[in-house]
């Protein structure tokens, strides 16, 4: 099982001829991800180590039956690339590009809703179902197949957390980087439900950070819908107000969106929040009764 990606994933890479696109395409393929094609306007007919390249996603879908797309194009072109994938019949789009304008994402959201297409990102490191498929830029060596589902607004913080999980013997069902932008695709609520429904997932790790109130909403959702154990971590307890902490979405505005509020919201519904990264696997093991 696992969620979103697995052995049935047929991936097309949009922006496959770019520096990052080609580099990570080969990494994904090396991990065993079924990369069926790439898109790069004007480079149709070429190939990247045997992966055929097309001018449009439509051709890639028609000729290689891609069902999932990952996007490495520059941010100003990302919204168009996402919509192109959706229009071509792709059902899951992962957008790695960082710096996509927020109004582009608002427009994209409305379009994807009409088309019934799922999006992860933008500005995310991608997702992985260990031993089945990695889509994005994740360092695969830290992951291990197992029963913990993980979702995170951050990249490297996720890697740290995953390596702590793995070194503590806690493998992962699927790990999803949901991205650090204010308006993004699949978020806590949808992913919590997917992990809840996934028989392979036994516990859930939620890594949040300052900005917005998605964590507060997630807490509310967990209270009402999630029966599996959840442990959270919130980054940005020392972040000042009004400053964008790297991620476009990580900003405390008018005293709202603080780590304190988020931690309190989780604890109010019985979700433990690790104060230090190293504490997280310990709490999780206790909840999973693995001690």
Nearer to another protein, 111 or 223 (CB): 111
Q: Are 226 and 204 in contact (CB under 8 A)?
A: yes
User: CA-to-CA distance for 182 and 290, rounded, in angstroms?
Assistant: 36
| Smallest separation (angstroms) from another protein to the CB of 26 | 13
Note whether 118 binds another protein by CB under 8 A. no
Categorise residue 103: left if φ over 0, alpha if ψ from -120 to 50, beta otherwise.
alpha
First to last CA, the chain: 26
Q: Two tokens at 240?
A: 């000042």
Letters for 64-103 (x = contact with another protein by CB under 8 A, - = none) are -----------xxx--xx-xx--x-----------xxxxx
Nearer to another protein, 20 or 131 (CB): 20
| Smallest separation (angstroms) from another protein to the CB of 157 | 3
Binding piece for another protein, criterion CB under 8 A, among 193-201, 213-221, 264-272, 283-291: 213-221
Nearer to another protein, 76 or 270 (CB): 76
Letters for 12-51 (x = contact with another protein by CB under 8 A, - = none) are --------x--------------------xx-x-------
Q: Are 4 and 174 in contact (CB under 8 A)?
A: yes
The single residue among 6, 18, 26, 58 that binds another protein, judged by CB under 8 A, is: 58
Please work out, in degrees rounded to the nearest 5, the angle formed at the alpha carbon of residue 186 by the alpha carbons of 145 and 207: 60
Letters for 243-272 (x = contact with another protein by CB under 8 A, - = none) are xxxxxxxx---xxx--x-------------
User: CA-to-CA distance for 178 and 208, rounded, in angstroms?
Assistant: 10
| Smallest separation (angstroms) from another protein to the CB of 160 | 5
Binding piece for another protein, criterion CB under 8 A, among 28-36, 190-198, 202-210, 264-272: 202-210
Nearer to another protein, 127 or 198 (CB): 127
Within residues 129-158, the interface with another protein by CB under 8 A covers 137-139, 141-142, 152-158
Q: Are 225 and 249 in contact (CB under 8 A)?
A: no
Nearer to another protein, 202 or 249 (CB): 249
CA 2 vs. chain centroid, Å, equals: 14
User: Under 8 Å CB-to-CB from 139, ≥6 apart: which residues?
Assistant: 159
User: Under 8 Å CB-to-CB from 168, ≥6 apart: which residues?
Assistant: 281, 282, 285
Q: Two tokens at 227?
A: 């029966």
Q: Two tokens at 44?
A: 């149709």
Q: Is 24 a catalytic residue?
A: no
Which active-site residues does the annotation give? 247
């Amino acid at each position: 099982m696992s969620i979103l990606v697995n052995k049935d994933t047929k991936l097309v890479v949009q922006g496959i001829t770019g520096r990052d696109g080609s580099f990570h395409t080969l990494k994904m393929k090396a991990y065993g991800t079924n990369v069926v094609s790439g898109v790069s306007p004007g480079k149709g007919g070429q190939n990247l180590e045997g992966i055929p390249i097309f001018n449009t996603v439509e051709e890639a879908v028609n000729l290689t039956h891609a069902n999932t797309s990952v996007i490495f194009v520059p941010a100003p072109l990302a919204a168009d690339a996402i919509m192109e994938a959706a229009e071509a019949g792709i059902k899951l789009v992962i957008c790695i590009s960082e710096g996509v304008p927020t109004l582009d994402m608002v427009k994209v959201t409305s379009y994807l809703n009409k088309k019934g297409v799922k999006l992860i990102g933008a500005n995310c490191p991608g997702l992985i179902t260990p031993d089945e498929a990695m889509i994005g830029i994740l360092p695969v060596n830290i992951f291990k197949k197992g029963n913990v589902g993980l979702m995170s607004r951050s990249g490297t913080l996720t890697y740290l957390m995953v390596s702590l999980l793995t070194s503590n013997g806690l493998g992962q069902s699927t790990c999803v980087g949901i991205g650090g932008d204010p308006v993004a695709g699949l978020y806590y609520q949808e992913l919590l439900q997917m992990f809840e429904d996934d028989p392979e997932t036994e516990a859930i790790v939620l890594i949040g950070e300052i900005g917005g109130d998605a964590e507060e909403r997630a807490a509310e959702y967990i209270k009402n819908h999630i029966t599996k154990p959840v442990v959270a971590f919130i980054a940005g307890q020392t972040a000042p107000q009004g400053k964008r902490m790297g991620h476009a979405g990580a900003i405390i505005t008018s005293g709202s969106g603080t780590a304190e509020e988020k931690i309190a919201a989780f604890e109010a519904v019985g979700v433990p929040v690790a104060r230090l990264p190293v504490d997280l696997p310990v709490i999780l093991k206790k909840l999973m009764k693995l001690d």
